[in-house]
A and B are shown apart, each in its own frame.
Chain A
Amino acid sequence: MSIIEVRNLKKEYPSFTLKDISFDVKEGRITGFIGRNGAGKTTTIKSMLNLVHPNSGEIDFFGLPLKDHEAEIKKQIGYSTGTVSWYPRKKIKDIVAIIREFYESWDDEAYRKYLKLFDLDENKTPKELSEGMKVKFNLLIALSHGAKILILDEPTSGLDPFSRDELLDIFTELKEHGVAVFFSTHITSDLEKCADDIVYISDGEIMAAMPKKEFMKEYSKDDESLEDTILRMERSRTNA
């Protein structure tokens, strides 16, 4: 069942256009949103969070249009916009004390559990956190209010291979608990490791949106890895 439906999303900038983007994010699955730098991943994600206003198109969460049910929908989603840190000089516990008031579903027990699991010190400030820990801090907030879907913009970017691996393992664990994960990346091995579905964007256009197995079946040549397939597709598009 689709919990996010993006239909014919269009956003025009003077030097870049998102062209009729359409894809679905399915319940309880990990969807990797892949594309090279500048392909339109962040613009798409910002549109999904209503931070950017598309020229046209529809975005539905849980069958509800985002434009009419923004607050209601945002209570059920978690997000991380890369390595941006909020209130870098405030202690985590002080930030959390404010955030929790916005969510009726805030679960203190879950908060303590994930705080321990992610090895986060709530007396630290975001400024004192590494890039990986910043992503974990965002995940901590999302999971403490029982988010049903996580929307993450390049969460693995800037992480060392160990932290990346650890984070992808967390995604898999969350999936087992029924949380859907939609994350953008330009690192194909992230998809190989944990994605169930792939949404591939190139120059503002969706090239493919389907389960990873189908993608490999349809686009991969003999013995080609996912990385080789995407690189070949990207090159042929650039050369066309």
Chain B
Amino acid sequence: MRNIMRKEMKLCASPITYWFILFGLMFFLPGYPILCGAFFTTLGIYQGFLYAREANDIEFSALLPIGKKDVVKGKYLFVCLIEGCALLLMLAVALIRMTALADSVVYLSNALMNANLFALGGALLIFGVFNVVFLGGFFKTAYNMGKPFIIYIIVSFMFIIVLEALHHFPELGVLNSFGFDNIGLQVLLLLMGLAAFVIMTLLSYRRSCRNFEKIDL
């Protein structure tokens, strides 16, 4: 599997895929829907897929002495790696905002979502949606990616709008906790996001393996 990952990282990925991880720093922005940072990270991955398609990567990979399932696994692992890097960056920013910047007025008066552990759970949810809608859609043909990406844009922005709006409901204000307030709930929400990500990714991976096996390249 190490050889497949090296292929993904050195031959397939576009530099933009790596640069767009930095959009995780959007968790620093007050007055901005910070989950867009997760969306922009996936936009970088999408650019990498376009680049790989131009390079005939799928056909090349299918000719390597590996099973077709491993081709799919390589793509999913690489995407999860990029998503994981962006998430670590977001976690670092969230921890800074929860500690050193916990009393910052600019964040306390922010009308939009606070960068806390719930927001990280939200980012995981966006990544999970990407893995289901875009990756799952791509592996139906191993070629068409415009339609799956447009569907992903619509679905992910619906999620972003809903997640941004939730804390404005009187009983859900607790979702926007600052610092270590309601930390138990924050951790729980993060874990729920993680569980949703893992389940969505695994289900999408299995479906993609089945679909890719049937495709005529």
| Chain A residues within 8 Å of B, Cβ to Cβ | 46, 49-53, 70-75, 79, 81, 84-90, 94-95, 97-99, 101-103
With a cutoff of 8 Å between Cβ atoms, the chain A residues found around residue B6 in the complex are 98, 101
Main SS class of interface, B? helix
> Contacts of B67 on A, CB cut-off 8 Å?
70-71
Cβ-closest chain B residue relative to A104: B65
Please tell me if B89 contacts chain A, counting CB pairs below 8 Å: no
B67 to chain A, nearest CB (A): 6
Question: Cα distance A86–B53 when bound, in Å?
Answer: 10
Given the interface pairs A74-B64, A84-B56, A85-B56, the reply to whether A53 lies near B214 with Cβ below 8 Å is: yes
A84-B56, A85-B56 as given contacts; A51 in contact with B63, CB under 8 Å: yes
A44 to chain B, nearest CB (A): 13
- Count of A-B residue pairs with CB < 8 Å: 65
| 12 A-B pairs (CB sep. < 8 Å) | A46-B217, A52-B216, A52-B217, A53-B216, A71-B65, A71-B67, A79-B63, A87-B57, A94-B10, A95-B11, A98-B6, A101-B3
**A87, B55: Cβ atoms closer than 8 Å:** yes
Q: In angstroms, how far is the closest chain A Cβ from the Cβ of B97?
A: 40
Interface size class of B (residues with CB under 8 A): 20 to 34
Given A81-B63, A87-B55, A97-B10, 11 new contacts (CB under 8 A): A46-B217, A49-B62, A49-B63, A51-B63, A53-B214, A84-B59, A86-B55, A87-B57, A95-B11, A101-B6, A102-B64
Cβ-based interface call for B66 (8 A): yes
Provide the residues of chain A in CB contact with B65, threshold 8 Å: 71-75, 102-103
Is B64 a contact partner of A86 (Cβ separation < 8 A)? Answer: no
Report the minimal beta-carbon distance from A46 to chain B, rounded to whole angstroms. 7
With CB as the reference atom, state the residue of chain B lying closest to A54.
Answer: B216
CB of A51 within 8 A of CB of B3, answer no
A81 touches B59 (CB 8 A): yes
Chain B residues whose CB sits within 8 angstroms of the CB of A102 once the complex forms: 3, 64-66
